Amino acid sequence: MQSILLTGRLTTDPLLTYTPEIAKCTFVLAVASNHNGYKKTDFIPCVAWRQQAELLGNFAREGQKIEVKGYIRSRTYTSKGQKISCIEFEIVDTEY
C-alpha cells in the first residue's frame, strides 16, 4: 500500500456522521502547489474513520491548515439507479 502525505487547508468544516457502528468524517482539503512558477490548487475529497473522524469532526474548522497521512481509495456505488465512481483520500493520521 502506498502512503501519501498532504498539507492543505479545509474548505469547509468537516462533516462528522455516525453509522450504526463507527464514526465517519468527510471533508475537502485544498492543496496548493507551485511548479515552475505556475500556481495551482487541487481540491482533494477526504474521509476519516473511527477516532481520527471524531478528532477532525470535533476540533478541525474551515480554513485551518492540517497535514494528513493516508492512501488513495477508489470505490463505486449506486445512487438513484446510476452507478457512480469516486476517488478519495482515506486518512490514517492527522496533524494540526
Could you tell me the CATH number of the domain that includes residue 34? 2.40.50.140
What is the value of pTM for the model shown?
0.84
For the residues 88-95, what does the mean pLDDT come to?
Answer: 82
* pLDDT at residue 1, as a whole number: 63
Domain range for residue 69? Answer: 4-95
Mean pLDDT of the chain: 91
Number of domains forming the structure of the chain: 1
DSSP for 63-93? T-EEEEEEEEEEEEEEETTEEEEEEEEEEEE
CA–CA gap between residue 54 and residue 51 (Å, rounded): 5
Q: What is the pLDDT of residues 34-77, one digit of tens each?
A: 888 899 999 999 999 999 999 999 999 999 999 999 999 888 98
